[in-house]
Structure 1
């Protein structure tokens, strides 16, 4: 999956579209596995983005706390 230009918001929107297509049964059996595979890749991408953001925010908070103590 090409994630170079993908944002969290775009991935999340695409996931919502896939979910709606599957829920509304507008996905043919022929493409269902393809959609599920894409959804799994998007979920993995979103989880990675969230973990990276959490680490970055925690680092910023630690820096702020360190600066505040000094």
Structure 2
């Protein structure tokens, strides 16, 4: 999965991983891989949220400029 992954896809996969970890039925080796993957997914989600926030702020700033 890359940064082209949608926020929804990354979030959904993250939820699956959390459920698997909470079930306690994965091995230590799998746990390590799942935690690494979860970290990657969290980074993707955070980047998407940051980009969205920046875009919204730009749009709002542009709107403020047109109202004057």
Q: What value does the CA root-mean-square deviation take over the aligned residues?
A: 1.1
Stretches of structure 1 lacking an aligned partner (at least 5 in a row): none
Q: CA deviation at 1:5?
A: 3.6
Stretches of structure 2 lacking an aligned partner (at least 5 in a row): none
Q: Whole-Å Cα distance in 2 between the matches of residues 60 and 27 of structure 1?
A: 45
Encode CA deviations 1:11-31: one digit per residue, 9 max, x unaligned: 000110000000011222221
Deviating above 2 A after TM superposition, structure 1's stretches of 4 or more consecutive aligned residues are none
The count of corresponding residues between Structure 1 and Structure 2 is: 68
**TM-score normalized by structure 2?**
0.92
Q: Does the 8 Å contact 2:10/2:41 carry over to 1?
A: yes
